[in-house]
Structure 1
Amino acid sequence: MLCIGMKFTAAQSAGGVCYGMIGDNLPSKQDTVALFNSNGISRMRIYFPVTELFEALKGSNIELIVDVARESLQAISSDPNAANAWVNTNIKPYAQDVKFKYITTGNEIHPGDAEAQFVFSAMQNIHNALAASNLGQIKVSTAIDLSLLGNSYPPSAGAFSESATGYMQQIINFLVPNGSPLLVNIYPYFAYIGNQKDIPLEYALFTQQGNNDVGYQNLFDAMLDSTYAALEKIGGNGLQIVVSESGWPSSGGVGASIDNAGRYYQNLINHVKGGTPMKPNGPIETYLFAMYDEDQKPGAETERHFGIYHADKSLKYALNFK
């Protein structure tokens, strides 16, 4: 496919790209920031603090999500001094020149994980550490996936599972009073491959004509609205969701192809300028996963094929961000 440059304009500021680094052949941090800048990509998410990247981002105007690594959660949760040290090392020295947007305490922590008990206190301690450094404008949150839902269809009946409800209640009790969004990773691809009998490929790729029996034309909206419905059932009314990851693999599994992935990314870019049936007033702040294929990422083969760029910095798809 012919590849053309990506351009985010002010009207399309809902868009960002996740920058994973689990590869041995990836461009330098400086080259990656230059690639974001040259294509007008104005938002980035990373999964742990990287000093070299912070230096490269200085003066770039790119808004940044930084994750607190899973391995750091226990220490930060149990000791406010550890949270202060994390902020003083990773955020405060760069805050004048780097546009930190959100700090995410953990990515896809599940209620049964050992780290789940640390998420709420880690959010509190990071929030307090930022406030103590006069950086309270940086919002603190966590990122979940949709395995925490016990029911997702129809979207209006969305609800967290019994095992996840208490965990999510704690998170909401932090987010709502602090005006922070909830970050949610939404992957129609995984829903599709898990239930091909009931989910048409066209519904997952935004190419279905007409609405289904509950008024939805695409799976992304249904997944997002089911999460909103679940939040409302436990006191999260008015809470904003940021789609912190969404993507489609180009190889390695069922439905994973260049054509399908390119179609998904382009349709997602176009779609998130608007809203959903439940939340019609868009845009939807959304981060594409991911910048590059990560050749050393563990797990299923598809995990290594989510990049929108090749390691040589050429675009994999004919994406038009205009």
Structure 2
Amino acid sequence: MDFPEFFCYVSILACLFPIMVNSIGINYGQIANNLPSPEDVVPLVKSIGATKVKLYDADPRVLKAFANTDVEFMVGLGNEYLDKMRDPTNAQAWVKENIQPHLPATKITSIFVGNEVLTLNDTSLSDCLLPAMQSVHAALLNFGLDKQVTVTTTHSLAILQTSYPPSAGAFREDLMDPLCETLNFHQKTGSPFLINAYPYFAYKGNLEQVPLDFVLFQPNQGVTDPQTHLHYDNMLYAQIDAVYSALASLGYKKLPVHISETGWPSKGDEDEAGATPENAEKYNGNLIKLMSGKTGTPMRPNSDLNIYIFALFNENMKPGPTSERNYGLFKPDGTPAYPLGITPNNVVGRNTTVGGGSFGNAVTNPYYPMSSSTGYMSISSARQQRYQLLGHVVLMVPLLIIKTLV
């Protein structure tokens, strides 16, 4: 496809996404050899109404291309850099080379240091996490950039030990010390708490127990939290509320929670049930529709949702199962990976009553055990290998709760 055709598609896409929300974000991965140039990605990002981009490194080509666009960037420092970033001198040099030159033209607002480190069971990494975060923050402070650029890290939902009901959400006891250290850092510096959440993996691992409509934001019976009496009719929002509860139980009730990754693959292997264009369209389309209503979760209805959809493009060089190469909203030539039109009749809206609940856009809980003794079920993915990072661990919700949904 030549550039005129590419931009023609961009214009069409702008019409296909009539309802957008200011807080929508997109993950811009680049593990591919056939992606358009960063300059050509700019109008594509704008066409879907995204105002935030999460980049897995600090690619200067991308940051330069998005200068003066008002698109906010979260840039990453991979796990392989944690040990090096413990040294304040190295952190200072990295910020000077990768962040300072792009400001203020490019709106870099956050740096995430490490990905899902605490659930990797690798003390060589977890011991480096907080010192690396502190060094990067200190470097920003030295350059006078700490007020505009925050420092954070991303977490897997496997940091939760209990998630049902959402009001009883609690973190794993074995992670409490390093987790509280990072939470104190967030509170002192004003940075958000980032979670990667993928209801797809819960569905893929529990086909007979997890209703598809429940994970796709489609009308369904849902569940009610017996403690708060809040109704949940989708999994993602309950996951978020479980995290809110876990934070509140430790005294961090006001700490903002952002979903740094969530998405649905449009293609998968034979054993990857649910990875279809139709389901991907429903998940991402319904999620965008819900976000456009500027509604929060049942527990935090007035809190702004900051969600980064994974991902902008299908990436042909990612290892692992077929699904890992098919999370993109778009193919590398800029055409939609599946129909991107969003229609009102396939979305649960703010005033829609589902299953007798008071929140039509409510969420379900992550699939975690009631206690650590019930164990976890690991759902591996190639994303665990990306940037030498381990990723998705899906936990099981009690079977009794699932039965109320079917």
1:201 and 2:222 are equivalent in the alignment: no
1:142, 1:277 → 2: CA distance? 25
- Residue identity opposite 1:254 in structure 2: A
- Residue identity opposite 1:130 in structure 2: L
In structure 2, what is the equivalent of residue 132 of structure 1?
142
TM-score normalised per structure 1: 0.94
**How big is each residue's C-alpha offset from its partner over 1:217-253, in whole Å with a ceiling of 9 and x where there is no partner?**
1101111111111112223211101111110001112
In structure 1, what is the equivalent of residue 79 of structure 2?
70
2:275, 2:19 → 1: CA distance? 32
| Residue number among 289, 305, 309 corresponding to 1:270 in the alignment | 289
In structure 1, what is the equivalent of residue 160 of structure 2?
149
Contact 2:20/2:48 (8 A) holds in 1: no
Contact 1:172/1:235 (8 A) holds in 2: no
In structure 2, what is the equivalent of residue 33 of structure 1?
42
Contact 1:29/1:53 (8 A) holds in 2: yes
1:321, 1:205 → 2: CA distance? 14
SS at match of 1:110: helix
In structure 2, what is the equivalent of residue 249 of structure 1?
265
* Distance of aligned partners of 1:15 and 1:301 in 2 relative to their CA distance in 1, 3 Å threshold: same
| Residue number among 246, 256, 280 corresponding to 1:240 in the alignment | 256
* Distance of aligned partners of 1:186 and 1:6 in 2 relative to their CA distance in 1, 3 Å threshold: farther
Shift of 1:257: 0.2
1:110 and 2:118 are equivalent in the alignment: yes
38-47 or 144-153, which deviates more: 38-47
* Distance of aligned partners of 1:149 and 1:39 in 2 relative to their CA distance in 1, 3 Å threshold: closer
In structure 1, what is the equivalent of residue 26 of structure 2?
17
In structure 1, what is the equivalent of residue 88 of structure 2?
80
* Distance of aligned partners of 1:298 and 1:312 in 2 relative to their CA distance in 1, 3 Å threshold: same
1:54, 1:220 → 2: CA distance? 30
Shift of 1:194: 2.3
Shift of 1:302: 1.2
1:115, 1:126 → 2: CA distance? 16
Percent of counterpart pairs with the same letter? 38
39-48 or 306-315, which deviates more: 39-48
1:55, 1:14 → 2: CA distance? 22
Shift of 1:213: 3.6
194-203 or 6-15, which deviates more: 6-15
In structure 2, what is the equivalent of residue 56 of structure 1?
65
1:162, 1:61 → 2: CA distance? 41
Shift of 1:125: 1.0
1:240, 1:196 → 2: CA distance? 32
1:83, 1:225 → 2: CA distance? 34
TM-score normalised per structure 2: 0.75
- Residue identity opposite 1:299 in structure 2: G
| Residue number among 169, 174, 177 corresponding to 1:158 in the alignment | 169
In structure 2, what is the equivalent of residue 294 of structure 1?
315
SS at match of 1:225: helix
**How big is each residue's C-alpha offset from its partner over 1:119-151, in whole Å with a ceiling of 9 and x where there is no partner?**
111111111111111111211110111011111
2:116, 2:327 → 1: CA distance? 17
215-224 or 227-236, which deviates more: 227-236
Shift of 1:153: 1.2
Q: Which has the larger radius of gyration?
A: 2
In structure 2, what is the equivalent of residue 311 of structure 1?
332
Shift of 1:5: 1.2
Shift of 1:280: 0.8
Contact 1:6/1:319 (8 A) holds in 2: no
- Residue identity opposite 2:283 in structure 1: Y
2:250, 2:177 → 1: CA distance? 9
Contact 2:20/2:288 (8 A) holds in 1: no
- Residue identity opposite 1:96 in structure 2: P
Shift of 1:39: 4.1
* Distance of aligned partners of 1:23 and 1:269 in 2 relative to their CA distance in 1, 3 Å threshold: same
1:236, 1:295 → 2: CA distance? 40
* Distance of aligned partners of 1:321 and 1:236 in 2 relative to their CA distance in 1, 3 Å threshold: farther
Contact 1:37/1:60 (8 A) holds in 2: no
* Distance of aligned partners of 1:157 and 1:319 in 2 relative to their CA distance in 1, 3 Å threshold: same
